[in-house]
Amino acid sequence: MSTLDKILSAGRRARDASGALLGQNWGKSGWKASGRALAAGEVPQRIIPGPPPSAAGDEESLDVWGFKDTGFSIDARGVVKLTGTRYELCGEELPNLVPWIEDVMAIQIEPRDVHESAYPVKIPEPIRNAAFQDAIRTFLAEDQLTDAPQIRLRHGHGHTQEEMYAIKYGQVKRVPDLVVYPSEEEHVIRMVELAKEHGCCLIPYGGGTNVTDALKCPADEKRTIVSVDMRRMNRVLWIDPANRIACIQSGAVGRHIAKQLADYGFTMGHEPDSIEFSTLGGWIATHASGMKKNKYGNIEDIVQDFNAVTSDGLLARHDINPREAVGADPRRFMFGSEGNLGIITQAIVKLFPLPEVQRYGSVLFPDFRSGVAFMYDLQQEGTPPASVRLVDNIQFQFSMALKPAKTGIAVQKSRLEKLFVTKVKGFDPEKMVACTLVFEGPDAEVSNQEDTVYRLATRHGGMKAGGENGRKGYQLTFGIAYIRDFVMKHYVIAESFETSVPWSKAIQLCDNVKRRVNKEHAAAVLPGRPFITCRVTQVYQTGVCIYFYLAFSYKGVKDPSHAFAQIELAARDEILQSGGSLSHHHGVGKLRKKFLPQIMSDAALSWNARTKQAVDPDNIFGVRNQQMADEMSFDVPVAPAANSKTDSDRAANSTAAKAKTAVKAKAMRKPAAKKTTSKAPARKNPARKKASPKSSPAN
């Protein structure tokens, strides 16, 4: 079972056991939303959960994806194995993976030929602001701030290939100078005030899982860069079982949120592929989507309200209601803001009862076009299950190559199954594709969805491939995330990217992108063949999300990271030309910001930039993602830096003189309107309270 499956199972057991504590209206789907009970005043009080699950044994790697105890390795025979015990794939021998990669990419992988990592590469010395550090020490404990080199390095990158290659084989020009760990909202408010006073730059940090260069520090930033790691603000503050909402701090990690809510019979339903490591605040800041969005919605559908600390103070409301028409809501600017406007501290989210049943399914189709046609009809004619994902032929073959070695009767069974599919059903192994499904909900609803799915699949030449294959396909999502860093050691560089596109353009977009990648790979005279594959991951009435994987061998290539970036940029250009979006859920960051003028009018870009200057006139949140800070001038007070290497040198810098300097990012486009260097009118911070009423556990 996957970690999330275990959480759901344990949650159902805990839910049933909780009935005695929570009253007679507590049933198999959590608190029963009974009108009689509400009318009689039998409404349970808010639940105040304990602290999040212990993180003992869950140490994360600093230089590769995932948990430190998990990773792919290869032996002298060329057999691959996933270490650890966290995933079903762990400990299994995978004899077919390397031969399959070699065949598809026309390369050779020699187990002993390893590109040895130089991690950690040289880490820039910190730019210290002694006055700021002295001030924050008045309310933070010593274990809530650090300038340890490798911790600073980790907080200065996400998981793009460019960043992961740089920390192992290249150089990193700029990283945060200080990492701080607030544990309450008041800490964040005071940090922002002190950053304004002492001329520091703040960059919020959640799980560090982004793939858009969103955490990459501007190389020319002269101020002290402070990474504000939110993961100690990680509690579920309260659960309201009657109204099915919960208040959760923004640093809570997805897997912990799922566990705590499941203990009381609920789920948020938001499951991005990064759920084991990403945080609630990160989901909001990047406008995230999860694999079960068909049933539960995207993050903007789930989040009802949130608090955010800006340079003007705390954005907050006292009450939470189902819907309001109260004018423009400044908090809505924070969705997708990617750290440019402030720091999200907590959110109120919708809850759903844990599904009564969870079942998996899978369907084979003769080709990708048939699979897309099925998904279109499913969206138009039925109610799609919680998750429905269609992989193309290369990705289907990839999943087959990840199957453990078979022994005994399993070998014969596998041969018979293959003969049936290819000979009896006539499926071409070089064209067939697979669709995996996750059904969740009441038993009757799930049964109806299954009937619809398999009826429509038959219409398009599909054949049922069983729930077990669907379950394993779903679980592979978490295990295969470790492959990118494994193959990088063997001279294969890889990354993913995604888009959304109308139904009418989906198939052509996939074809165009694959054709463009092959063309660019050949023009660059790179080794072997590129690995380019796609899957349809989320469906909407108006279109789909398409997720690509790209890889190529870099053996003998002078600057492989740059070569990859050029091909990825070409692929993104092709996506836009084919009618796709700049991003469905990864976001923009710095990786895709140059494409913004192709998708937005000058006026739209100007609005975003002027919003940034209006609400953050000193550019305190100076991460420079998107184009919010490009071509705008900011008057920033900068304290004289002290590049001292020990805290004993802090006294030399205790009195910081303010010097006005203009921080101006390199222009990425022609200005839509005449630039202005004028500062927004000074504003006083509104009076604030220690905790807003909606966040108080006692409320």
> What's the pLDDT score for residue 127?
98
Measure the CA–CA gap between 675 and 632, rounded to whole angstroms: 7
> What's the pLDDT score for residue 460?
98
State mean pLDDT over 644-662. 39
Measure the CA–CA gap between 631 and 638, rounded to whole angstroms: 20
- Tokens 């807003």, residue? 692
* Under 8 Å between Cβ of 201 and 225: yes
State mean pLDDT over 326-333. 88
What domains lie within the chain, and their CATH numbers?
3-32+233-353 (3.30.465.10), 357-481 (3.30.70.3450), 490-591 (3.30.300.330)
> What's the pLDDT score for residue 633?
66
**For residues 214-246, b (16+ Cβ closer than 10 Å) or e, as one string?**
bbbbbeebebbbbbbbbbbbbbbbbbbbbbbbb
Side-chain half-sphere exposure of 291, counting CA atoms within 13 A:
23
Measure the CA–CA gap between 613 and 623, rounded to whole angstroms: 14
> What's the pLDDT score for residue 609?
94
* Under 8 Å between Cβ of 119 and 416: no
**Pairing relationship of beta strands 463-464 and 531-539 according to DSSP bridges:** unpaired
Tell me, yes or no, if 547 is annotated catalytic.
yes
Per the residue annotation, which of 296, 376, 547, 554 is the catalytic one? 547
Work out the percent of the chain whose per-residue pLDDT is above 70: 85
**For residues 651-673, b (16+ Cβ closer than 10 Å) or e, as one string?**
eebeebeeeeeebbbeeebeebe
State mean pLDDT over 221-244. 97
Confidence tier at 7 by pLDDT (50, 70, 90): low
> What's the pLDDT score for residue 640?
54
pLDDT higher than 80, residue 613: yes
> What's the pLDDT score for residue 398?
96
Helix, strand, or coil (residue 437) = strand
State mean pLDDT over 86-98. 95
As given in the structure block, the two tokens for residue 137 are 């020490």
* Under 8 Å between Cβ of 433 and 440: no
* Under 8 Å between Cβ of 392 and 547: no
* Each residue's pLDDT tens digit, 397-425: 999 999 998 877 877 777 888 888 888 88
Instruction: Kindly report the pTM of this predicted structure.
Output: 0.89
As given in the structure block, the two tokens for residue 671 are 């200005």
> What's the pLDDT score for residue 681?
37
> What's the pLDDT score for residue 632?
65
* Each residue's pLDDT tens digit, 151-182: 999 999 999 999 999 999 999 999 999 999 99
**Pairing relationship of beta strands 224-229 and 200-205 according to DSSP bridges:** parallel
- Angle in degrees, CA 610, 614, 619, rounded to 5: 95
More confident residue, 33 or 471: 471
Measure the CA–CA gap between 301 and 304, rounded to whole angstroms: 8
